[in-house]
Structure 1
Amino acid sequence: MNLMRWSARLTGVPWRAAPQTAAGTEEGAPSGDVVVPGPRDPTNLATAAELLDPHKPQHLREVLNRIPAPVAVTYGPLHQLAHANRAYRELFGDRPTGLPACEALPELGTLGVLPLMDQVIRGGRPRSVKARCILGLTGNRYYNVSCVPLGTGDTGDTPVDGPPAGVLIFAAEVTDQVLAAARLREAERRQREAAVTLQRSLLPQKLDQPADLRVAATYQPGGAEAAVGGDWYDVIAIDGGRTALVIGDVMGRGLRAAAVMGQLRTAVRAYARLDLPPHEVMRLLDGLAMEIDANQIATCTYAVWDPQRRTLSYASAGHLPMLLRCPDGTILRSEEQNGPPLGTGGGLHVSHTLRLLPGTTGVLYTDGLVERRDEDIDQGLDLLARTLTGAIGAPEVICARLLRAMGVTSEHDDDVAVLAFQLPAEEPVEETAERPEPALDSASREV
């Protein structure tokens, strides 16, 4: 970096040097003083060695002292201190010139700047660190610190030949920005904690356990960097010994999504007790979602298990397919045909019915379980199906195994809800018993 060209543009500094005598000094100036020349007169440029000589009075120091930011100039491979401007001394106190930076500028070692200065001398390129906390005479302050090479008599920004003669250390204060970012992170943390608390309070604290169906569910909020979403699940006992199974996901993040989720979950529990078919429940939820927030949509699967008929009737509003594992280990996906997400209005929702054999296991889940940013979602669905094939045990064991196998941890970048159900296998199965079929039967309806 050419300090002379750069400093000549500062307020109060002339663009051109005063006329010089044959001896090379300014008229009226004391002999030996170094004068900042005009940028268009390269023949009179002083060498960097002269500029960095701590034993000569220099007009450049006056220029640096006018800068409100801390600036220090070093020379030589040991980074001996040539000058620390007024702002630097106000921050750290007086610093002895002529000593190596490790002795004269110990604060730079604490900030990790000394190795950068070595890199500048070796490579001749600027180096910098960001948002370093400096404990100075005025308390804790944050600075972006830059180290810039000073050339050996060149007129450009990099040395012409040989290593740089020295290094200019410039600290730009960013305390306000750092503190503002810290306040923002703290506000986001508090909001996230509130959303997680709301989310968990709206989910069922204890699932109903029907005598003829074993169920378990789990909810894993996203990691600290992810905002809480609107995933939910529910198990509802309804008339005739039947059981409604629900999984849903409100699009969006934060308190608003969690609040919308709570309203939809409450509505599902009310609609379930009206003894309506699944597609009618979806239609009512669609209208309600539009009234709650027309800009926020949700996906949902609503299924009803009838132990008398051994059937599972369900409808889906844009949700991912349910997976079923038959007693022989075969994995089936629920019917792909489903209605649009809740909150879009005017869509067709379809009810489907399956007959299930004793020992069948089913899994309902949200997209956080299978969706990854760098993969197609079908890859996640295939992996989940393969995992379910070998996930043997009670429903709560299956939930834990699926989360582990799908790589869901406390640092996962999305919320995950999983609801697993299982038909007891104690009941003997006749050889002519019908296996589950994914196709529609005569009980399916459309509106």
Structure 2
Amino acid sequence: MRWSARLTGAPWRVAAPADDAVALPGPRDPLGLAGPLLGPEPLLGAEPLLDLHELYDLRDLLGRLPAPVVITYGPRHRLGYANDAYRELFGTRAAGLPAEEAMPELAELGLLPLLDQVLRSGRDRSVKARSITDPAAGPGRTRCFNVSCVPLRSTERIARTARTARSAGRDGQPPPAIGVLIYAAEVTDQVHAAARLREAERRQREAAVTLQRSLLPQKLEQPAELRVAATYQPGGADAAVGGDWYDVISLRGGRTALVIGDVMGRGLRAAAVMGQLRTAVRAYARLDLPPHQVMGLLDGLAMEIDANQIATCVYAVYDPPAGTLTYSSAGHLPLMLRGPDGTVLQGEQQNGPPLGTGDSAHTSHTLRLLPGTTGVLYTDGLVERRDQDIDEGLGLLAHTLAGAVGPPEVVCARLLRAMGVTAEHDDDVAVLSFQLPRAEAAPEPVSEPVPELGPELRAMPELGLSEAAEPGVDSALREV
């Protein structure tokens, strides 16, 4: 239903007075022709259909274009036409000469092989952001162009090929190209804007990486009963810095706290939140609270820092006298342990919610570790890939850890290499490896040599020894 407003008593429509000349717009005909021009025959009373070359002078039209335009012909791409914009940019060019002689700038831009492809395949080709030195703009100044190469075909050849194709029953095959039209659209401003944007992103990334590394421990504490090592690999140039972190904290009673976490998100904000959480973990660790209570305190702090920012974390405490590892996980990936015999075990899958969700339903789990056990804490960048399931990454990590022997530094390096983590990786990676020393084997008893008894000692009855008893005494001394 349509609504309109009118005054009470006013008619809906009012006819214009007969003597009032009304100017009505004419038909939308940019060519000024009366009647339709389409169809094989013009309609009665219409102007005849005109050829495009009669309506426009294409040479004059190309000459007025502000973009450089060149037309070549033949297999050697002889110059047939260059408009004013092209001559202003490169100077006057002699027509009829091959492109490598008449237009050396095309060879410098790498366009000659492209022209061969266009002439041979009859398909358009284009290249982007080709730099051209412009002497008129000043020394060292360049202009950037997107260059398009379009095949040109003769009208007579098109008609002849169409007739031949219809007679042979193979319509749809275009005739071969006889020339190429080269059109260059200037994109200097866009290229410079993109370069400035990349430079700004690079500076921001460098600042985030600097902040990230400054917030991580510069030197790990090395407890007496535990060997530890860690590594951090930021993502590649196309990946923003994340909030991965790790820490090793010495506690009372010779215990050691091992921490690893990952703040969701990218950039300076994630790195700043990571720094606050890491500082809070060190403060809460001094309270000697169970791991699940530390997670509850961190969860409340994460909500105060930013309710929209969540993080995952594992907090573990190793107690050397008891030989146990007590840990709690807040939505983080499970830790992995390799026993002295090479068996790889995975930590408890049932972990609590991530930090910052307000649900402090975290629990602690206790594991008894054997001497020589190697453990690994890691962030998701080590095992997650866009083209595979995370279980595949966990399986590969377990297989790699089973063969990664050596000190913790070697284990970290082998894990990164085997998991395909390079400088161009698309995500941050943090790995913390710890290792219990192997149990020292009990020293074998060393038997002292028994001095040979002289004839005078053998004759002493108070020793209770005789010639027949000498071999038995010797063996008893070696067992001791």
Task: Give the TM-score range, shorter chain.
Answer: 0.7 to 0.9
After superposition, give the CA deviation of every residue in 1:11-60 in whole Å (9 maximum; x if it has no partner).
Answer: xx9688xxxxxxxxxxxxxxxxxxxxx99545x869xxxxxxxxxxx932
| Structure-2 change in CA distance of 1:303 and 1:156 (3 Å) | farther
| Structure-2 change in CA distance of 1:315 and 1:156 (3 Å) | farther
Q: What CA distance in whole angstroms lies between the structure 1 residues aligned with 2:275 and 2:157?
A: 69
How far has the Cα of 1:376 moved from its partner? 0.8
Unpaired segments ≥5 residues, structure 1: 1-12, 17-37, 47-57, 430-447
Q: Contact (CA 8 Å) 2:299, 2:356: kept in 1 or not?
A: yes
Q: What CA distance in whole angstroms lies between the structure 1 residues aligned with 2:397 and 2:218?
A: 26
Q: Contact (CA 8 Å) 1:216, 1:396: kept in 2 or not?
A: yes
Alignment match, 1:126: 124
Q: What CA distance in whole angstroms lies between the structure 2 residues aligned with 1:117 and 1:389?
A: 57
Q: What CA distance in whole angstroms lies between the structure 1 residues aligned with 2:78 and 2:418?
A: 58
Alignment match, 2:197: 184
Alignment match, 2:91: 93
Structure 1 runs of 4+ off > 6 angstroms?
154-157
Alignment match, 1:372: 385
After superposition, give the CA deviation of every residue in 1:390-420 in whole Å (9 maximum; x if it has no partner).
Answer: 1111111111111111121222221111111
Q: Contact (CA 8 Å) 2:295, 2:360: kept in 1 or not?
A: no
Amino acid at match of 1:103: E
Alignment match, 2:346: 333
Select the residue among 54, 71, 74 that pairs with 1:73: 71
Unpaired segments ≥5 residues, structure 2: 1-29, 34-46, 163-173, 443-480
| Structure-2 change in CA distance of 1:377 and 1:15 (3 Å) | farther
Alignment match, 2:15: none
Select the residue among 421, 439, 445 that pairs with 1:426: 439
Amino acid at match of 2:101: E
Pair 1:385 & 2:387 matched: no
Please tell me the root mean square deviation across aligned C-alpha atoms, in Å.
2.3
Alignment match, 1:218: 231
Select the residue among 226, 243, 255 that pairs with 1:242: 255
Alignment match, 2:219: 206
Pair 1:299 & 2:312 matched: yes
| Structure-2 change in CA distance of 1:61 and 1:330 (3 Å) | same
Q: What CA distance in whole angstroms lies between the structure 2 residues aligned with 1:145 and 1:68?
A: 14
Amino acid at match of 1:77: P
Q: Contact (CA 8 Å) 1:233, 1:248: kept in 2 or not?
A: yes
Q: Contact (CA 8 Å) 1:45, 1:153: kept in 2 or not?
A: no
Q: Any residues of structure 2 matched to 1:42-61 within 5 Å, and which?
A: 59-61=57-59
Q: What CA distance in whole angstroms lies between the structure 1 residues aligned with 2:156 and 2:233?
A: 61
| Structure-2 change in CA distance of 1:156 and 1:132 (3 Å) | farther
Q: Give the secondary structure class of the aligned counterpart of 1:350.
A: coil
After superposition, give the CA deviation of every residue in 1:70-115 in whole Å (9 maximum; x if it has no partner).
Answer: 1111222222222211111111111111222221111111111122
Q: TM-score, normalised by structure 2?
A: 0.76
Select the residue among 400, 404, 413 that pairs with 2:426: 413
Amino acid at match of 1:416: V
Amino acid at match of 1:148: V
| Structure-2 change in CA distance of 1:334 and 1:39 (3 Å) | farther
Aligned length: 383
Amino acid at match of 1:190: R
% identical aligned pairs: 74
Q: Any residues of structure 2 matched to 1:145-184 within 5 Å, and which?
A: 145-153=147-155, 162-184=175-197
| Structure-2 change in CA distance of 1:39 and 1:82 (3 Å) | farther
Q: Contact (CA 8 Å) 1:358, 1:427: kept in 2 or not?
A: no
Amino acid at match of 2:317: V
Point out the more displaced range, 186-195 or 73-82.
73-82
How far has the Cα of 1:164 moved from its partner? 2.2
Q: Any residues of structure 2 matched to 1:27-42 within 5 Å, and which?
A: 40-41=49-50
Amino acid at match of 1:420: S
Q: What CA distance in whole angstroms lies between the structure 2 residues aligned with 1:216 and 1:254?
A: 26
| Structure-2 change in CA distance of 1:318 and 1:39 (3 Å) | farther
| Structure-2 change in CA distance of 1:14 and 1:140 (3 Å) | farther
Pair 1:142 & 2:144 matched: yes
Q: Give the secondary structure class of the aligned counterpart of 1:134.
A: strand
Q: Give the secondary structure class of the aligned counterpart of 2:126.
A: strand
Q: Contact (CA 8 Å) 2:80, 2:95: kept in 1 or not?
A: yes
Alignment match, 1:435: none
Amino acid at match of 1:257: A
After superposition, give the CA deviation of every residue in 1:161-209 in whole Å (9 maximum; x if it has no partner).
Answer: 6422322110001111111111111111111111111111111111111
Q: What CA distance in whole angstroms lies between the structure 2 residues aligned with 1:204 and 1:278?
A: 21
Tell me: higher relative CO, structure 1 or 2? Use CA pairs within 8 A at least 6 residues apart: 1
Q: Contact (CA 8 Å) 1:323, 1:332: kept in 2 or not?
A: yes
Q: What CA distance in whole angstroms lies between the structure 2 residues aligned with 1:154 and 1:221?
A: 62
Q: What CA distance in whole angstroms lies between the structure 1 residues aligned with 2:143 and 2:62?
A: 21
Alignment match, 1:108: 106
Q: Give the secondary structure class of the aligned counterpart of 2:427.
A: coil
Amino acid at match of 2:322: R
Q: Contact (CA 8 Å) 1:15, 1:39: kept in 2 or not?
A: no
Select the residue among 402, 405, 413 that pairs with 1:400: 413
Q: Contact (CA 8 Å) 2:158, 2:175: kept in 1 or not?
A: no
| Structure-2 change in CA distance of 1:428 and 1:344 (3 Å) | farther
Q: What CA distance in whole angstroms lies between the structure 1 residues aligned with 2:411 and 2:156?
A: 71
Q: What CA distance in whole angstroms lies between the structure 2 residues aligned with 1:231 and 1:412?
A: 14
Q: What CA distance in whole angstroms lies between the structure 2 residues aligned with 1:425 and 1:236?
A: 22
Query: Which protein has the larger Cα radius of gyration, Structure 1 or Structure 2?
Result: 2
Q: What CA distance in whole angstroms lies between the structure 1 residues aligned with 2:153 and 2:71?
A: 12
Amino acid at match of 1:350: T
